[in-house]
Amino acid sequence: MTHSQEPQQQQSGLDRALALAREQLAQRNPAEIARCAGTGYYPVSDQAGRFVLRFLGQPIEVTFPDGQVTAPDAPRPPKGAVALLLLHYLLHADGCPMGGRWVAFRELDGGLLYDQAFRGRLEPVLLREFARRLDRFEQAARALGGSPLDFGDSAFAFEVLPRLHMAIIFYQGDDEFPPAVSALFDSAASHYLPTEDLAILGGMLTGRLLAAAA
């Protein structure tokens, strides 16, 4: 396989996954989806409407039954990976109450399998950008609507999706221990996204934090 073929195959896989998610969405009851996912649903006819939700503070609309994802306040539509994650959220949400308890990624269902990938998408980048400048992290976190937490040296909770919350915690370190960062999820997170999507979500939150700090 050549390097030029790899992006094409990845895009082809993404397109297939989007098509499957849209097909599954069209077969579901939109009112039930909205109830389980904690979103608004606004019908425009007996067979069509739109879901309205927020992703990291950004308004998002998802049409039903065709599953087209738009960000009304953004200059361009969300990228395919973001659209797929939002469709998966609507499909996977089961209405379970939020747990109100923070857990590490590896404690989620199947989390050990994806833990290395999850941490690799998040920890090195956050440490490089913010470990010595926690004021920049705090500025970026507030720009994304984060709420301060009393953990570590600096920590914020983020309402990533209506019933899916994450926390980022920095430890500044000292002469004996280097700086460290960790991410936690509300314990009900696996009721709202498959674990492999939660791993990807860490990278998405990291990207948003870097963009907000730029």
3 state SS of 2: coil
- Please check whether residue 111 lies inside any domain of the structure: yes
Please check whether residues 57 and 77 belong to one and the same domain: yes
Within 48-176, residue ranges assigned H as helices are: 80-92, 111-130, 134-143
176 inside domain: yes
Q: Note the pLDDT of residue 175.
A: 80
What pLDDT does residue 7 have? 56
Note down the domain range covering 140.
102-213
The pLDDT value recorded for residue 75 is 82
pLDDT of 176 = 85
Cα dihedral sign for 177, 180, 186, 188?
A: negative
Question: Do 55 and 145 lie in a common domain?
Answer: no
Taking CA atoms, 77 is separated from 10, 26, 54, 110, 184, in Å, by 19, 21, 14, 31, 28
Q: How many domains does the chain have?
A: 2
- Cβ of 106: how many Cβ atoms within 10 Å? 14
- Report residue 47: phi and psi, to 5°: -110, -5
Write down the pTM of the prediction. 0.91
pLDDT at 76: 84
From CA 135, how far away is CA 92, in angstroms rounded?
36
**pLDDT given at position 94:** 98
pLDDT of residue 6: 55
In a domain, 97, yes or no: no
The β-bridge partners of 186 are 102
Taking only the tens place, the pLDDT of each residue in 29-82 is: 999 999 999 999 999 999 999 999 999 989 999 999 999 999 998 888 899 999
- Which of 68, 92, 116 is the endpoint of a domain? 92
Residue 152 and residue 201 in one domain = yes
pLDDT under 50: residue ranges of the chain? 1, 4
Distances (CA, A) of 205 to 37, 146, 166, 178: 20, 11, 9, 23
